[in-house]
Structure 1
Amino acid sequence: MSRTIHLSPPDVGPLEESYLVAALRSGWVAPVGPELDAFERETAARTGTRGAVAVSSGTAALHLALLAVGVRPGDVVVVPTLTFVATANAVRYTGARPVLVDCDPLTGNLDVALVEKLLTRLSDRGERVGAVVPVDLFGSCADYSTLVPLCERFDVPIVEDAAEALGATHAGRPAGSFGRIGVLSFNGNKIITTSGGGMLLSDEPELLARCRYLATQARQPVPHYEHTEVGYNYRLSNLLAAIGLAQLRRLDGMVARRRHLRERYEKLFAPVPGVQVLGAEDRAANCWLTTVVVDSARTGWEPGRLGEYLAARDIETRPVFKPMHLQPAYSDAEALLTGAAEKLFTTGLTLPSGSALTEADTTLVLAAIEGFIAAPGQHATHPD
């Protein structure tokens, strides 16, 4: 029976096992413990921030981050339309209203020129903008050199959704360190994993203290259970933090493998007219997922056809995120669009990118793609 080659499977092994067993044997099985403290401390150091708070998911981190910067019901929060739904969902958890912005067609990240246009429009309407939430798509940082001063000019905080970008940098600065607060995800398919989990990062201790408080059911510091406001059960467990601590030790090697894999894809597709690797110019990306963009008028085949071909050989692929404005749950959201996100959705295909891929896996994937490219007539998409 053949084994499926997945898009980005967890990359865990003996080191993670040893850290987890050590945490179990130490007796620190409850939600807090030394591994949790160390994981927060080392992640903050890695991202160049003053502190961190580990929580149960990246979505929980986004929710807390928005609350911490003061987003309240009725506010507007600027969100990319090209993102995973969690980014927009977290806005609605707060009672705020997401307003969607299209992307830069060359990177998939937030189109900063559109953000400026939108902030001007919202300001003219007298609406309160609670935050701008850029997403570092597929592990490539947004254009913070332009976005940060823009948001400062409008006095709007940035909540950086760096869920996919740990290990990436922009202008020499680590992902997760931009704006007032940043968010990481440690879901099973991310650069590093804690099975499930997330992290808040900030240079502002008071923001992190607020997040930590809300993440522990907003319990008051008294001997009995006392709660003056609604909180959440969002903290990461010490056992899961132990896995994350081991993963953090291996981060550089895992990013290097993903970058090497992207380089091999770039070399493979370089002679193919009509195919480009999304964001290939960004050599500071962590290459969490590698996406190819296909101009079917030039190739004679659509990305979905390649995906079907690879699926028949037990190789997983995935389209680019379906834009939020096309999602039924967000079809009524206000949006400033150019068509760039929709085009990437229809022309993009994400390929196996995980650091856990063996050389045999990689060879198989590349050979399968070569086989598809070599016989375009068998897979061509012909007009009716």
Structure 2
Amino acid sequence: MEEQKIWLSPPHMGGNELKYIHNAFDTNWISQFGPNINEFEKCLENYLGENSFVSAVSSGTAAIHLALKLLDIQSGDIVICQSFTFVASANPILYEKAIPVFVDSEPDTWNICPNALEDAIKHNIQKGKKPKAILTVSLYGMPYKVDEVLEISKKYEIPVIEDSAEALGSRYKNQLCGTFGDLSIVSFNGNKIITTSGGGVLISRTKEHKERAFYLATQAKEDKEYYSHSETGYNYRISNVSAGIGIGQMEVLNERIAQRRLNHEFYNDILAQFENIELSSEPNENFYSNYWLNTIQIKRSDKLSKEILKEKFSESNIETRYLWKPMHLQPLYKGCDFFGSNLSGIIFDKGLCLPSGTNLTDICKERILKVLNMVK
């Protein structure tokens, strides 16, 4: 009999979500308006703190697109984007027919390299095309080097869009991710640390930006008694049902972060015995990761590679996944400018994501350890 599958990062309900879903059905607020949406936004604003104005939308991708719209990114504008990320970080740049310029990672966090970032900015300024935005990512829950990036942002007066899709609850110098960018986003996709089934939020620094985001996310309908539209809008608002799931999930967020960090301690303890496997961890005390996913690099040999280890896990009905393939290596973005040394490509070549769900039991961990011992 096949053992039950261990998933990479499955949804994990807290128990109270149904209360808010039932309320949505009982009151017949089941579409893109309703009290759950307002309450969900308020929960996040309270969690993130001062100067965080939250707009709940249908996905993290939608939130990034709205961020670009709020910064008036237009056709032909240059947007600098971290290369080592999921494609949803970069695709909205193409929605606006803007030009993505990709920047490599640095080794401590795997996030955007400040030196390569400044090289990209200088290069484009010399060409007479100053970038309009910097899009940086906190990959797998690890904060990027915030101080260095914000210093560059301030020096060249280029706003930052902070993609914290994977980093809700992570901190840099005890400040929460999602509060550093001129605009920030979080994802609540089904595999994230908490979920709304599908959804995301745009986090603005001003009430005016929040109001503008709401307007664009609701088809840019003007405040009139009839349907009047002067510019292109989008159907990007989250549903009241999904927002109800989000309220229930916010109640267990701190518990979920603690559970993910315990998973990291488990991997840290067992992988200390493996000379050929390196676990990605916080570089110093300034970084506090939610460890959404635990990621490793494997020193390739005849006996071990990411492909071999992935297959071993698969044979034991355990899901693992390769790291995000950097954008500068994707066929979709062939020909785009790239700045760096291809460190992200090297990491991708050696890397694997390990099961990191908050419902990972001791029995699951024993099965994971058993597979690892096969390749020791």
TM bucket normalised to smaller: over 0.9
Q: Is the 8 A contact 1:23 1:35 kept in 2?
A: yes
Q: Is the 8 A contact 2:52 2:179 kept in 1?
A: no
SS at match of 1:296: coil
1:370 aligned onto 2:373: yes
Match of 2:172 among 170, 173, 194: 170
In the aligned structure 2, how far is the partner of 1:104 from the partner of 1:278? Answer: 13
- What is aligned with 1:193? 195
Q: Is the 8 A contact 2:196 2:242 kept in 1?
A: yes
1:31 aligned onto 2:38: no
- Cα distance, 1:339 vs structure 2: 1.8
In the aligned structure 1, how far is the partner of 2:64 from the partner of 2:359? Answer: 27
Higher alpha-carbon deviation: 362-371 or 56-65: 362-371
Listed one character per residue, the Cα deviations across residues 245-290 of structure 1 (whole Å, up to 9, x for unaligned) are 1001100111111100111101111121132112343651000000
1:330 aligned onto 2:333: yes
Residues 227-376 of structure 1: pairs in structure 2 closer than 5 A: 227-281=229-283, 284-297=288-301, 300-373=303-376
Residues 2-151 of structure 1: pairs in structure 2 closer than 5 A: 2-48=3-49, 49-151=51-153
Counting aligned pairs with the same residue, the percent is 36
Between the two proteins, the alignment pairs up a number of residues equal to 372
- Cα distance, 1:136 vs structure 2: 0.5
Aligned pair in 2 of structure 1 residues 269, 280: CA closer, same or farther (>3 Å)?
A: farther
**Unmatched 5+ stretches in structure 1:** 374-384
- The code of the aligned residue for 1:14 comes to G
- Cα distance, 1:71 vs structure 2: 1.2
Aligned pair in 2 of structure 1 residues 315, 265: CA closer, same or farther (>3 Å)?
A: same
Q: Is the 8 A contact 2:108 2:283 kept in 1?
A: no
Listed one character per residue, the Cα deviations across residues 295-351 of structure 1 (whole Å, up to 9, x for unaligned) are 125x95112211110000000111111111111111111111302011111101100
**Unmatched 5+ stretches in structure 2:** none
- Cα distance, 1:215 vs structure 2: 0.2
- The code of the aligned residue for 1:288 comes to W
- The code of the aligned residue for 1:322 comes to K
In the aligned structure 2, how far is the partner of 1:123 from the partner of 1:99? Answer: 13
In the aligned structure 1, how far is the partner of 2:283 from the partner of 2:247? Answer: 31
SS at match of 2:45: helix
In the aligned structure 2, how far is the partner of 1:5 from the partner of 1:220? Answer: 48
SS at match of 2:54: strand
SS at match of 1:332: coil
- Cα distance, 1:162 vs structure 2: 0.4
Higher alpha-carbon deviation: 144-153 or 157-166: 144-153
Q: Is the 8 A contact 2:78 2:98 kept in 1?
A: yes
- Cα distance, 1:123 vs structure 2: 1.2
- What is aligned with 1:377? none
Q: Is the 8 A contact 1:72 1:130 kept in 2?
A: no
- Cα distance, 1:118 vs structure 2: 1.0
In the aligned structure 1, how far is the partner of 2:365 from the partner of 2:322? Answer: 20
- What is aligned with 1:158? 160
Listed one character per residue, the Cα deviations across residues 50-85 of structure 1 (whole Å, up to 9, x for unaligned) are 310000001000000111012111110001111100
User: What do you get for the CA RMSD once the two structures are aligned?
Assistant: 1.4
SS at match of 2:16: helix
Q: Is the 8 A contact 1:325 1:331 kept in 2?
A: yes
Q: Is the 8 A contact 1:180 1:204 kept in 2?
A: no
Listed one character per residue, the Cα deviations across residues 25-55 of structure 1 (whole Å, up to 9, x for unaligned) are 2332231111110111111221224310000
- The code of the aligned residue for 1:197 comes to G
Q: Is the 8 A contact 1:69 1:207 kept in 2?
A: no
SS at match of 2:137: coil
In the aligned structure 2, how far is the partner of 1:100 from the partner of 1:115? Answer: 9
SS at match of 1:276: strand
SS at match of 2:311: helix
- The code of the aligned residue for 1:33 comes to G
Q: Is the 8 A contact 1:44 1:50 kept in 2?
A: yes
In the aligned structure 1, how far is the partner of 2:109 from the partner of 2:181? Answer: 20
- Cα distance, 1:13 vs structure 2: 4.5
Q: Is the 8 A contact 1:135 1:142 kept in 2?
A: yes
TM-score (norm 1): 0.94
